[in-house]
């Protein structure tokens, strides 16, 4: 029987799919590790405590894959209830008892959990590998379905792609992926390969769109994604920005600022007002995921540099 229990938080949304996945891992010796307690929702914290109790376990360690509001805020109240220590990436600004030592083993009970530095979605993201069940806990680096938002300033494309490649090479023995949202993935290696290929294909599409004459991010978004589902355009725009920053740094793409003001449609794509779109309650999570607190005041035209 698996030592890993998935307890899904009741916070479904466009950003969180069916909700945030929290995991309660039986570490042996009567101890449990919780990965990502999720947002502060009392009945979800109740469910985590009950899951451990039903298996005669004490929650002694809470690990945070990253600090986003759908993953981390439950740590403080869960710690208050259980006395567990809270560990996160050294770059995290979430209140905690200590840093998870990167690229080292964390002993809990009779388990050795490998803590993996996994930048890209955020720069304070860890993944966790549990060798007995060959389980890779990926947080928001890889989800059970769909793809992940990689958006500046919190995230960056090349570090993200390097993290995916690292999963494929250093954790080639991983069998299952336990992501931050969506179902558990039974073929870990196929999913990692799919994610790597998706990013490469998207970048190729971006370069093709530049060759085809698209210049600004709104033009690129329309050229690549078409006119369906405009609700997704702001997220697409921030993905484009993440690629373009990398391509400009590498000298593949050149950018110059346009002298004109943005149109209303360009503003809606580049600097959406989330509170009026998704409501004040959901706006902070969308802002954190898409990085739209970073306002893009200048419209740039991009072209291939060579």
Q: Which residues bind Zn ion (CB under 5 A)?
A: 68, 140
CB of 306 to Zn ion, least distance (A): 35
Choose between 6 and 268: whose C-beta lies nearer to Zn ion.
6
In the complex, the smallest distance separating the C-beta of residue 251 from Zn ion, rounded to whole angstroms, is 30
Nearer to Zn ion, 38 or 218 (CB): 38
Long-range interactions of 218-226: CB distance < 8 A, separation 24+: 218/265, 218/266, 218/269, 218/270, 220/302, 221/269
| Cβ-based nearer residue to Zn ion, 68 or 96 | 68
Q: Which two tokens stand for residue 63?
A: 């690990």
Residue that is written with structure tokens 């893009």 in the block: 296
Q: How far apart are alpha carbons 137 and 280 in whole angstroms?
A: 31
CB-CB contact of 92 with 123 (8 Å): no
**Element (DSSP H or E) covering residue 277:** helix 274-278
In the complex, the smallest distance separating the C-beta of residue 289 from Zn ion, rounded to whole angstroms, is: 6
Helix (H) or strand (E) holding 226: none
Give the nearer residue to Zn ion in terms of CB position, either 118 or 217: 118
Q: Which of 39, 8, 45, 7 is nearest to 24 (CA)?
A: 7
The C-alpha atoms of residue 150 and residue 241 are separated, in whole angstroms, by 9
Kindly tell me which of 36 and 130 has the beta carbon lying closer to Zn ion.
36
Residue nearest to Zn ion (CB): 68
From the CB of 281, what's the least distance to Zn ion, in Å? 17
Complex with Zn ion: residue 34 or 49, whichever CB lies closer: 34
* Cα(9)–Cα(71) distance, integer angstroms: 10
- Nearest distance in Å: CB 154, Zn ion: 8
**What are the Cα distances from residue 265, in Å, to 121, 131, 245, 270?**
27, 50, 22, 9
Distance of closest approach, residue 143 Cβ to Zn ion, in angstroms: 10
C-beta closer to Zn ion: residue 78 or 118: 118
CA distances from 269 to 273, 287, 291 (A): 10, 14, 13
């Amino acid at each position: 029987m698996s030592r890993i229990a998935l307890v899904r938080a009741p916070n479904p949304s466009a950003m969180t799919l069916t909700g945030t996945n929290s995991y309660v891992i039986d570490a042996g010796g009567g101890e449990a590790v919780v990965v990502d307690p999720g947002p502060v929702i009392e009945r979800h914290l109740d469910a985590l405590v009950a899951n451990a109790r039903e298996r005669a376990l004490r929650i002694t360690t809470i690990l945070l894959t990253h600090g986003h509001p759908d993953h981390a805020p439950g740590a403080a109240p869960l710690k208050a209830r259980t006395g567990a220590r809270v560990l996160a990436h050294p770059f995290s600004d979430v209140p905690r008892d200590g840093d998870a030592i990167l690229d080292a083993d964390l002993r809990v009970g009779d388990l050795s959990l490998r803590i993996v530095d996994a930048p890209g979605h955020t720069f304070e993201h860890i993944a966790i590998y549990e060798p007995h069940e060959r389980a890779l806990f990926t947080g928001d680096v890889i989800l059970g379905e769909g793809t992940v938002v990689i958006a500046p300033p919190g995230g960056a494309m090349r570090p993200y792609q390097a993290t995916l490649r690292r999963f494929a090479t250093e954790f080639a023995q991983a069998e299952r992926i336990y992501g931050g949202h969506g179902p558990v993935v039974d073929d870990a290696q196929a999913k990692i390969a799919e994610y790597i290929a998706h990013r490469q294909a998207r970048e190729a599409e971006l370069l093709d769109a530049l060759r085809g004459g698209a210049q600004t991010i709104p033009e690129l978004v329309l050229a690549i994604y078409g006119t369906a589902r405009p609700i997704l355009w702001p997220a697409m725009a921030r993905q484009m920005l993440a690629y373009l920053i990398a391509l400009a740094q590498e000298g593949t793409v050149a950018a110059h600022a346009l002298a004109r003001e943005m149109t209303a449609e360009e503003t809606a794509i580049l600097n959406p007002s989330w509170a009026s779109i998704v409501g004040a309650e959901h706006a902070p999570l969308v802002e954190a995921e898409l990085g739209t607190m970073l306002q893009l005041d200048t419209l740039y035209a991009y072209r291939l540099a060579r």
